[in-house]
Structure 1
């Protein structure tokens, strides 16, 4: 009967060690939950960025206004018949 007590005691110690310090332990689970929260926030940011880019692609594919706006801002495009004014501040 004494050896049964020893075996059960060893089993209890082993399972308690696994519960508190091993893989899948309480501390490890909390760490994984924190990582999950951070990854969820990053994913939400990326989803917003992807939605913005998808809307921009849709505008570029369907409308000439978006193309001309980008050409004006990035390339300095001026349509025929328009007058372009540039204001330069003088340094004092």
Structure 2
């Protein structure tokens, strides 16, 4: 009787092996599900990026506003008869201070 129980326990373990560690086992399925979820997340990011790039391309093709904006901010271009005024903040003013001309000192008599 004891030999039959031991043999059945071994058969049960042999049957469980493919279920857990085999080609279509639960561990492998869980790994594939994680890979699929990662791929879906990456695809969603790429779809959002493509939509943004598509709208930017459409704007550059159809309108002049986007081209003008890029020329102003990236190339510092201005229109003819236009005055450029730059407002410098506190942090930028300290960085530009060494570049500013120093006031002339008054001569002592």
Q: Extract unaligned runs of 5+ from structure 2.
A: 1-6, 98-109
Equivalent runs, 1:10-21 vs 2, <5 Å: 13=14, 15-21=15-21
TM-score by length of 1: 0.77
**Correspondence for 1:70:** 70
Distance 1:24 1:47 in 2: 32
TM-score by length of 2: 0.66
Q: Give aligned pairs, total.
A: 83
CA RMSD, 1 decimal: 2.2
CA offsets 1:66-87 (integer angstroms, 9 cap, x no match): 1011111100010112110123
Give the drift of 1:16: 3.1
Q: Extract unaligned runs of 5+ from structure 1.
A: 1-5
Work out which of the two has the higher radius of gyration on C-alpha atoms and give 1 or 2: 2
